[in-house]
């Protein structure tokens, strides 16, 4: 066999290896989903959604968990969205190239890499202790908002950067002010991509467990919150609690909870991806 043939075979082998490596993660994800479905499907009944946690695995449910997740995510979105989009607009459209801007940019890039459990410590020191919000929904929402801010800022900036400069110039030429240009030209154009980033950021936030445990979110809540200052639990914390119980019966509950959580994140991600692809196809500058 000459070297050329060997080389060609090596090339083919590598191609197969590459394809296997690429789908390896997806195969694992598939196994994970099947495993969770087998364990959890029997528990997925109406009662499971409408019951509080309990000491008996068969009677326990995720009512307080999903209601808590809804509350916390609402607070997170209400705070993180305007601030994140605002910051993105400022950095992309208004900021002059100077030291302060540069510092803010590096700072945001760094924040995006800070482990989520550290945000939990920040929330514990700042919101829970310093502002005396205790282990409340609002403290949890604030903490997750700070965590998702860098992601939203970065994706907003990327969306704005994709808008060609000629759109801005045309708007200025018609006598529009800076804000009018941003409000009526740039934002509507970038909306699709901004929305994609927001959905992805929020789908991450839904699954966050560590920061909320760190600020002291409870694992056993047998009532529904009435105000933003009430204690809370969320779906991932409830799942974590069930996994760490020694009794086997709770594992099925954890699996059922995971099905709900996975369903939420997968649906949000699919929406985001479809949105992005449709948007990219439709608009060609």
Partner 1 sequence: MQQKKRIPLKLKEFLIEKGLFFCSLLSVFTTFGIVLVLSFETFEFFKEVPILKFLTDTQWTPLFVNKHFGILPLLCGTFLTSLIAIGVAAPIGLVSAVYLSEYASLKTRNIVKPLMEILAAVPTVVYGYFALLFVTPLLKKIIPNLSGFNSLSSGIVMGIMIIPLVSSLSEDAMRAVPMGLREGAYAVGSNRLQVALRIVLPAASSGITAAFILAVSRAIGETMIVAIAAGQQPRFTLNPFVPIETITAYIVQVSLGDTPYGTLEYRTIFACGMALFILTFILNIFSFKLKKRFQEVYE
Residues 46 to 75 in contact with partner 1, rule: CB under 8 A: none
Residue 163 in the binding site for partner 1 (CB under 8 A) = no
- Of residues 30 and 170, the one with the C-beta less far from partner 1: 30
Instruction: Name which of 108 and 159 has its Cβ closer to partner 1.
Output: 108
For residue 193 the two structure tokens come to: 């991509």
Helix (H, G, I), strand (E, B) or coil at 231: strand
* Binding range to partner 1, per CB under 8 A, among 84-92, 167-175, 184-192, 221-229: 84-92
**Alpha-carbon separation of residue 119 from 94, 126, 136, 141 (angstroms):** 29, 10, 16, 12
Q: Which of 44, 70, 104, 167 binds partner 1 (CB under 8 A)?
A: 104
User: Which one, 228 or 262, has the nearer CB to partner 1?
Assistant: 262
Of residues 190 through 219, those in contact with partner 1 by CB under 8 A are: 200, 203-204, 206-210, 213-216, 219
Dist CA 13 CA 183 (whole Å): 54
**Min dist. Cβ of residue 217 to partner 1 (A):** 9
Quick one: which segment of 19-27, 55-63, 65-73, 165-173 binds partner 1 (CB under 8 A)?
A: 19-27
End-to-end CA distance of the chain: 53
Q: What is the four-CA torsion angle of 224, 217, 32, 27, rounded to 10 degrees?
A: 120
Q: For partner 1, which stretch binds (CB under 8 A), given 53-61, 64-72, 161-169, 263-271?
A: 263-271
Structural contact between residues 214 and 57, judged by C-beta atoms closer than 8 angstroms: no
Q: Closest Cα to residue 162, out of 122, 193, 128? A: 193
């Amino acid at each position: 066999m000459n070297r050329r043939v060997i080389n060609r075979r090596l090339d083919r082998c590598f191609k197969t290896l590459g394809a296997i490596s690429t789908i390896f993660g997806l195969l694992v994800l598939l196994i994970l989903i099947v495993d969770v479905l087998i364990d959890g499907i029997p528990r997925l009944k109406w009662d499971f959604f409408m019951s509080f946690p309990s000491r008996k695995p068969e009677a326990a449910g995720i009512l307080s968990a999903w209601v808590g997740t809804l509350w916390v995510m609402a607070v997170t979105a209400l705070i993180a969205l305007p601030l994140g989009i605002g910051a993105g607009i400022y950095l992309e459209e208004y900021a002059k190239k100077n030291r302060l801007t540069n510092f803010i940019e590096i700072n945001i890039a760094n924040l995006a890499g800070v482990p989520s459990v550290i945000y939990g410590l920040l929330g514990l020191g700042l919101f829970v202790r310093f502002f005396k919000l205790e282990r409340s929904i609002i403290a949890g929402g604030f903490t997750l908002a700070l965590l998702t801010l860098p992601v939203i800022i970065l994706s907003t900036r990327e969306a704005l950067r994709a808008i060609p400069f000629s759109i801005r110039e045309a708007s200025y030429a018609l006598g529009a002010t800076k804000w009018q240009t941003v409000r009526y030209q740039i934002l509507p154009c970038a909306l699709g991509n901004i929305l994609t980033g927001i959905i992805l950021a929020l789908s991450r936030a839904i699954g966050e467990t560590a920061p909320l445990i760190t600020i002291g979110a409870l694992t056993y809540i047998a009532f529904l919150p009435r105000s933003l200052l009430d204690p809370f639990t969320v779906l991932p914390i409830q799942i974590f609690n069930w996994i760490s119980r020694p009794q086997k019966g709770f594992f099925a509950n954890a699996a059922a909870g995971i099905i709900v959580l996975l369903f939420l994140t997968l649906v949000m991600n699919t929406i985001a991806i479809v949105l992005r692809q449709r948007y990219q196809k439709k608009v060609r500058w």
